Amino acid sequence: MNARVLGGGGGGGGDGETTVVLAHGYGGSSHIWDDVAPALAKTFRVVVFDWSFSGDVVVDDDDDAAAVSEDISCSYFGFADELVAMMDELALTAVVFVGHSMAGMIGCIASVARPELFRHLVLVGASPRYINDDGDGYVGGFERGEVDAMLAAIEADFAAWAPLFAEAVVGPAPSPGAGAVAKFAKQLGRMRPAAALRVMRAVLTCDVRAVLRDVAAPCTIVHCARDAVAPLAVARYMQRAMARGVDGAPAPAVVVMDSSGHFPQLTAPMEFVRVMEAILLDH
C-alpha cells in the first residue's frame, strides 16, 4: 500500500507521540496530502499510504481484478480490512485517523472492528450514503438517476470523464485554483478504468448509515461549507446519528471550513493544517 512515515520517530502512539494516519479518497493517492503532510509532520508522526485502487499502486496489466477484487476489496468493509492489515504491519495503535471522503466511513468501520487501533477519528467530507432517501428524508446529495448517469459515463469513456469530474468536485480555490484541479485530475486519471468504475459504483451506491451508531471512538467531523459531493446536511446527519450511538460516546464536533469543494487539503491547505493542528493538539 506504499505506506510512508513522515516526521516523528517513535512507535504507534504508546510512547505518548501522536501518530496521524492520512487516508485519501476516491481517485486520489497519498500525494493528495502533499500540501499539508510536511507541515503536520513537523509536530506529529504522519503516515500516508495508497489504497489498492489508487493509480499509484503498480499491478500487472492482466491483473486489474487483483488490485480491487469484486468480492472483497471493492466494498467499504473490504477496504477496512486493508486498513487494519496495514496498521498491524506497521505496528500502529491508538492513532488519529484522518479519512477523506470515502476513507472516513472506512475508518469508522475499521474502528468498530478494532477499536484499540484508533484514538480519534477525523472525518473530512465523509458520507455514509450519497443517494437521497425519500423514505426518511435523508439528503445525500444525489438522485439515483444522477448516479446511474455518472457510472454510465465512466464506463463509456473514463479518460474523457475524469477531468470533468475533477473540475466539478475540487471546486474553486484562491489563485492558482487550476493547480488544485490539475493535481487531482492527474491522480484520478492514473486509475485503471475498470477499478475506477468498480470503486465508484461501491461508493455511490453504499449505505453504511447503520455503522455510525456503533462507532465508539471520539470523532471530529470536518466539512466544507460548500461541498458539491457531500452537502453540509450530511455532516449534520452524521453528528446526530453518532450522538445517539454507543453509550458514553461523546457527540462528535462538526468543524465547518469556510471553503468550497470537496478537497480542502488542495484548495485551502493552510486553513486545513490549522484545523488539523487544533484538533490534534486537543486530543
The per-residue pLDDT for range 12-68, each reduced to its tens digit, is 444 448 999 999 999 999 999 999 999 999 999 999 999 989 887 766 554 544 444
Asked about 227 being catalytic, the answer comes back as yes
- The model's pTM: 0.91
Q: How confident is the model at residue 11 (pLDDT cuts 50, 70, 90)?
A: very low
Q: What is the rounded average pLDDT of the residues 205-215?
A: 95
Per residue in 247-260, is it b (16+ CB within 10 Å) or e — as a string?
Answer: eebeebebbebebb
Asked about 101 being catalytic, the answer comes back as yes
3-state secondary structure of 163: helix
Check residue 10 and give its pLDDT.
Answer: 42
**Which residue among 24, 31, 100, 262 is the active-site one?**
262
Q: CA-CA distance, 251 to 148, in Å (whole number)?
A: 34
**Which residue among 54, 73, 101, 127 is the active-site one?**
101
**Which residue among 30, 227, 259, 260 is the active-site one?**
227
Domain with residue 102: its CATH number is: 3.40.50.1820
pLDDT digits (tens, 9 = 90+) for 84-137: 999 999 999 999 999 999 999 999 999 999 999 999 999 999 999 999 999 999
Q: CA-CA distance, 43 to 30, in Å (whole number)?
A: 19
**Residue 143: other Cβ atoms inside 10 A:** 12
pLDDT above 90: percentage of residues in the chain: 78
- Count of domains for the chain: 1
Compute and round to an integer the Cα radius of gyration of the chain: 17
**Residue whose C-alpha is closest to residue 196's, from 66, 54, 86:** 54
Q: Which domain holds residue 59?
A: 3-282
Instruction: Find cell 428524508 and name the residue.
Output: 137
Phi, psi of 194 (to 5 degrees): -65, -40
Describe the strand order of the beta sheet including 4-6 as a list of residue ranges: 4-6, 45-48, 19-23, 95-100, 118-124, 219-226, 253-260
3-state secondary structure of 237: helix
Asked about 259 being catalytic, the answer comes back as no
Q: How confident is the model at residue 243 (pLDDT cuts 50, 70, 90)?
A: confident
